[in-house]
Structure 1
Amino acid sequence: MIVPLARAVSEHVHDGATVALEGFTHLIPFAAGHEIIRQQRRELTLIRMTPDVVYDQMIGMGTASKLIFSWGGNPGVGSLHRFRDAVENGWPRPLEIDEHSHAGMAARYTAGASGLPFAVLRGYRGSDLAVRSDTIADVQCPFTAEVLAAVPAINPDVTIVHAQRADRAGNVQMWGIVGVQKEAVMAAGRVIVTVEEVVDVLDPVPGAVVLPAWVLSAVCVVPNGSHPSYAAGYSTRDNAFYSAWDDISRDRETFTAWMEQHVLESARV
């Protein structure tokens, strides 16, 4: 259950898989994304609410052939230049996109976690997203005849999240701003969780979510594994990095050189 990150990625993330790396504002699993890059996974369908710098890096290194997402950007700074280059110019490879709203993505994960084929919401009524995606359809309520939007469930092959800690049995505890991690975990076929530390007892924390060991495939101890995002109670957000990334990622050669030095040549547990 508690294994090195390189082993977890090797065993559970395969070429052509659908992979969700979730975390909202903090607890973003950067270390796991870097390990996927180092292991040169290809043809992945990446799934994420608010894809930010970690997906910019993965897309720029050629891991992805498709992105299912809601809102993409470098938070507080601007565009994701590697993402834009892939969509607009096909570099380093063409990228298919399926864009949804936050509510639509959350509903899709919830349907997947609930074992349902699709979710229903009002959020797309009047939006042009419906005409741009084949994963948004009209459905009529059988009770009121109201026309609503339907979106298919998301069931990733692998979901990867970062959390604050795990106990020695492999139960995981996370707290702070929690987005759709629980739903993304419950919807997945396999689950990898990186954590800041392993403890003997998971002391109660207000608002904490506990992911039981029986739903997880691997737990990996990776201190600071969410950098440059943060883990509440353990680290702070590296705002300077997000600002610097805008210049690093604008140019293909500068980006590639940075990734070679800071990711490909870097060893993590």
Structure 2
Amino acid sequence: MAKFLPLSQAVSDNLKDGDTAAFEGFTHLIPTAAAHEAIRQGFKDLTLVRMTPDLIYDQMIGMGMARKAIFSYAGNPGVGLLRRLRDAVENGFPHPLEIEEHSHAAMANAYEAGAAGLPCAIFRGYRGAGLAEVNPNIKSVTCPFTGEKLAAVPAVRPDVTFIHAQKADRKGNVLVEGIVGIQKEAVLAARRAVVTVEEVVDNFDDLHPNLCVLPSWTVHAVSVVPGGSHPSYTQGYYDRDNAAYLEWDEIAADRDRFREWMQKNVIEKTADDFAGRVAHLRKAA
């Protein structure tokens, strides 16, 4: 059952060195505050899993936290490369990064397989694609019923998944609205799950029953962090900060500037700083 915890405790209780960790969000509801808290606590040797790594994984990789990334697209959305990730892959800085690249379909199916407790995902995919030539975790199987050749990839079962959402009720049930991406499956596939939310409400009685609600028994910890998705957006609360994504490309391009920015804007900040900017974000929205 979900516990309401300060973000620093929620992260320290649920993330450990060497874990496989997913900080999931699909352009929307990216758990930036949780990732920054993990950076402040200095975890190492992580395997980072995500369909679409963007700024927060660039930051975590640049800070030397990751040994491997499993993903289906990596980039600064709408801008270009992830420069810290590329530096790690091409130059081993700050240390070498192993990568395992998949298609979006493979990652989504792998999360679903993990949520179902299955060892692998089987689906139609990779026909005519070259990824299998460089990724030994892409296999093929023959359907025992039709004889069709299908793709197979290992299930994704993170040690811990972090997501951001709009609301939790006082029982720890979590409401996710808008573009959901793979967040639900990433939570259900994980051994532990931490959710940051914009606010806590008494109940969800007035909401449509088909909205995505993660029941409290699927979540280990809930932390109230208004603004916790910035610079991505949270539907109904604040818009995407496009300028921050453009700025990041210049910051991340230089190793020294990157470290200076991280020290000033992440290491020396706390989760309370996300809460402090929420009024500005909501006004801008």
Question: TM-score, structure 2 length as denominator?
Answer: 0.93
Match of 1:182 in 2: 184
> Are the counterparts in 2 of residues 175 and 207 from structure 1 also a CA contact under 8 Å?
no
Which of residues 162, 167, 170 in structure 2 aligns to 1:168? 170
| Unaligned ranges ≥5, structure 2 | 273-285
In the TM superposition, 1:68-79 aligns within 5 A as 68-79=70-81
Runs of 4+ in 1 over 2 A off after TM superposition: 205-208
> Are the counterparts in 2 of residues 16 and 45 from structure 1 also a CA contact under 8 Å?
yes
In the TM superposition, 1:1-269 aligns within 5 A as 1-202=3-204, 203-205=206-208, 208-269=211-272
Alpha-carbon separation, structure 2, partners of 1:144 and 1:70:
29
Alpha-carbon separation, structure 2, partners of 1:108 and 1:268:
31
Identity percentage of aligned residues: 62
CA gap 1:240/1:205 in 2 versus in 1, 3 angstroms: farther
Match of 2:276 in 1: none
Shift of 1:208: 2.3
- Residues 68-97 of structure 1, C-alpha deviation per residue, up to 9 Å, x if partnerless? 001100000000000000000011111000
Alpha-carbon separation, structure 2, partners of 1:216 and 1:57:
26
- Residues 198-252 of structure 1, C-alpha deviation per residue, up to 9 Å, x if partnerless? 0111231585210000111100000000000010001110000000101000000
- Residues 161-205 of structure 1, C-alpha deviation per residue, up to 9 Å, x if partnerless? 000000111100011001011111100000000000001112315
| Unaligned ranges ≥5, structure 1 | none
Q: Secondary structure at the match of 2:18?
A: coil
Question: What letter matches 2:180 in structure 1?
Answer: V
Alpha-carbon separation, structure 1, partners of 2:62 and 2:219:
29
Shift of 1:145: 1.1
Shift of 1:134: 1.5
Match of 2:275 in 1: none
Q: Quote the RMSD (CA, aligned, Å).
A: 0.9
Alpha-carbon separation, structure 2, partners of 1:92 and 1:211:
37
Shift of 1:267: 1.5
> Are the counterparts in 2 of residues 176 and 208 from structure 1 also a CA contact under 8 Å?
no
Q: Secondary structure at the match of 1:68?
A: strand
Q: Secondary structure at the match of 1:184?
A: helix
- Residues 116-152 of structure 1, C-alpha deviation per residue, up to 9 Å, x if partnerless? 1111112112111111112110100101111111111
